[in-house]
Structure 1
Amino acid sequence: MTRTLAIAASAVVVIFLGVIGWLTLGGAAPDDQFAQCRASSVAGDLGGPFELINGRGDTVTDKEVITEPTLIYFGYTYCPDVCPLDVDRNAQAIEILETRGKIVTPVFITVDPARDTPEVVGEFAEVMHPRMIGLTGSAAQVKAASQAYRTYYKAHDPVDGEYLVDHSTFSYLVMPEHGFVEFFRRELPPEDLADKVGCFVDAV
């Protein structure tokens, strides 16, 4: 795969983020316990139940995965540059939070189940962070999880047996008793992400 192709894929993702329609900037409701932490609002409900397969090959539900504050990212392990950078940013933020006495679970959900088997996502997650949970599933299971969080993904036609997958690049903070509480853009540095996630953790 050429570097040009990889850059083109990244550009498509950036363009998509520029026109995505369901995300609106604004404040939170006055009675929201997380109001002081929020930088945005989302039209309608976001997040919800899912059933996926972890790196050990076990079928798990959202209730079994989200047992503490959880930072979720949708991507794929064959991603040439965007996903590794985003997932590493999340892992760095998780480590910063750990030094502050706050435990947040990093989760990686693939949007390329054809190539990302349980073993593949399990190894990827372990390399990125020792507590990261890698999840895959059938095409239908992955689609259902993606739709719950309103993420976008679309695979390109294969070129010499390889293909890229366009996808949205937000990270989602989900709390066990509250569900989805906030999303974060990929431009946010690790320290800033840790600060923002920490605010929500402290507000529980």
Structure 2
Amino acid sequence: MYKTLGLLSLLLLSGCAHTPPTAADKTLSSGNGLPHLSSINHLAQQMVNELVRQNDNLTPTSLTLVATPVMLSDLTATNTLGLQYQQGLIAALHDHQFNVVDMNVAETIQVTAEGDFILTRDWQQLPANIDVDHVVVTTMSPDKAGVVLYSRIVDLNNNHVVSVAQSFVPVTALSGLLTESEKVVSENGLLYRHASKGQHAVKMVGSD
């Protein structure tokens, strides 16, 4: 019934409809400029609501994994938005009573002077295989005004797409994670000079 999902093949995504943050959200922004968690959580809830509405196969008993959102242009690259949004999706799916699997739990607890840790991104410390039925994958595609998010739930037994959702997030909605491009930008080793800011794809915090 289940399909074995190799650890090294896992990376992923997320996305959904979103409204700009209120003045209260901006007031609650952290000191380093990142938006308050309510912005990410709201975005994740909206996306999961849409995925659940369109779902034609996933049930609460299915074992589901949320992969890290990746860039559409590079399926091995992510950023701060992707990492935070992944956590929001996990919480939103659990809120809908789905059976979510956390692939970052190590087989043993590491007890150190700094604390006791069990979460890891070191594949050598993770179980050799994780049995899941479905995976939530998301890609992010920036343009001049914001980021387009595409998400889908895939049945790993046959690669059947059981639900899809997409949305556009304007740069103003997540100002702590998205910024307008500068007049001069570098891309693929080339410099591009524009007449004003915001004429190139938005900059995503944490991207290379």
Q: Does the alignment reach a TM-score above 0.5?
A: no
Compute the TM-score of the two structures, normalised by the length of structure 2. Answer: 0.30
Say which structure is richer in helix.
Answer: 1
Select the structure of larger CA radius of gyration: 2
Compute the TM-score of the two structures, normalised by the length of structure 1. Answer: 0.30
Say which structure is richer in strand.
Answer: 2
